[in-house]
């Protein structure tokens, strides 16, 4: 199995892509997984499902807008498992706001969850790995909007652009410690969080994902279970020396224009 030695922390691991990544890591042999999220009911449900798959699972209730919670999501796993050698930053916060209508409060929340929280979780994880002199792997889930983004996603796009640079910076800083750091820039993905966004801001119906898929080249949105395979590969020792890579995972090509 590819990930039998993996002891991972997955932020945003109670639903959507984070939960799909947890499932995939367990399917590939990981026996200890920590997931964090804000809602206890979702955490308990995810723990029950993942435990049934054969892993020891820790749920850490955390609001990543709070610096202490971001750090604790990693340190709690270290305390529980003894060591951690993988971190997947899946948690994110989006909303709608352009240059002229984004409030300072919205800006600060976006930066806190989408940039500062990954900074703090990586800080805690890398400090532990260096102290133990163990190799490790970090995967940051970014977004295709890091390339630019829609006009109504100004703070979100800016935050994801910052996370892209942070990913490369960390990869460069700790490659001699055998700590790898990579990022995946996801396209439009079908998740519970995206469904909520579509209904809240765009009056979408229950069939929003099916309708959206009809407008895309592959006929569907990005699927978490498919993307989870790439994330698990980047976590795995099987991905070798890959570090500092930012992988576009989408059917739209950055920099391309309609013909």
In whole angstroms, what is the distance from residue 26 CA to residue 41 CA?
21
Q: What pLDDT, in 10s, does the model give residues 177-209? A: 999 999 999 998 888 888 888 888 888 888 888
User: Closest Cα to residue 225, out of 93, 2, 27?
Assistant: 27
Show the tokens assigned to 36. Answer: 């964090």
Tell me which DSSP letter residue 238 carries: G
pLDDT for residue 162: 98
Q: What pLDDT, in 10s, does the model give residues 67-118? A: 999 999 999 999 999 999 999 999 999 989 999 999 999 999 999 999 999 9
Q: Which residues contact 58 (CB under 8 A, 6 or more apart)?
A: 32, 33, 34, 35, 47, 76, 77, 80, 81
pLDDT for residue 257: 84
Q: What pLDDT, in 10s, does the model give residues 31-51? A: 999 999 999 999 999 999 999
pLDDT for residue 207: 86
Q: Give the residue, 2 or 183, on which the prediction is more confident.
A: 183
Phi/psi at 36 (nearest 5 deg)? -130, 150
DSSP string for 138-194: EEEE--GGGGS--TTBHHHHHHHHHHHHHHHHHHHHHGGGTEEEEEEEE-SB--HHH
Catalytic site positions: 156
Please state the pTM of the whole predicted model.
Answer: 0.95
Q: What pLDDT, in 10s, does the model give residues 114-143? A: 999 999 999 999 999 999 999 999 999 999
If you average pLDDT over residues 168-185, what whole number do you get? 98
Counting residues of the chain whose pLDDT is more than 70, the rounded percentage is 100
Domains of the chain are 7-187+223-249 (3.40.50.720), 192-221 (no CATH)
């Amino acid at each position: 199995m590819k990930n039998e030695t993996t002891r991972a922390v997955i932020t945003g691991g109670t639903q959507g892509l984070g939960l799909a990544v947890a499932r995939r890591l367990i399917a590939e042999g990981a026996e200890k997984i920590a997931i964090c999220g804000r809602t206890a009911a979702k955490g308990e449900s995810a723990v029950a499902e993942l435990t049934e798959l054969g892993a020891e699972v820790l749920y850490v209730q955390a609001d990543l807008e709070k610096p202490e919670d971001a750090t604790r999501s990693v340190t709690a796993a270290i305390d529980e498992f003894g060591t951690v050698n993988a971190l997947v930053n899946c948690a994110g916060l989006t909303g709608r706001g352009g240059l002229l209508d984004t409030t300072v409060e919205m800006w600060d929340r976006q930066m806190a969850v989408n940039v500062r929280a990954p900074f703090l979780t990586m800080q805690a994880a890398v400090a532990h790995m260096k102290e133990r002199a163990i190799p490790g792997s970090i995967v940051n889930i970014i977004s295709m909007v890091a390339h630019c983004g829609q006009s109504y996603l100004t703070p979100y796009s800016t935050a994801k652009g910052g996370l892209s640079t942070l990913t490369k910076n960390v990869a460069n800083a700790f490659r001699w410690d055998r700590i790898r750091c990579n990022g995946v820039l996801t396209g439009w993905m079908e998740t519970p969080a995206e469904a909520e966004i579509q209904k809240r801001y765009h009056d979408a119906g229950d069939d929003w994902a099916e309708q959206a898929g009809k407008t895309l080249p592959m006929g569907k949105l990005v699927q978490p279970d498919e993307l989870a395979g790439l994330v698990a590969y980047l976590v795995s020792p099987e991905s070798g020396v890959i570090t500092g890579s930012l992988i576009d995972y989408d059917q739209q090509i950055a920099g391309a224009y309609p013909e």
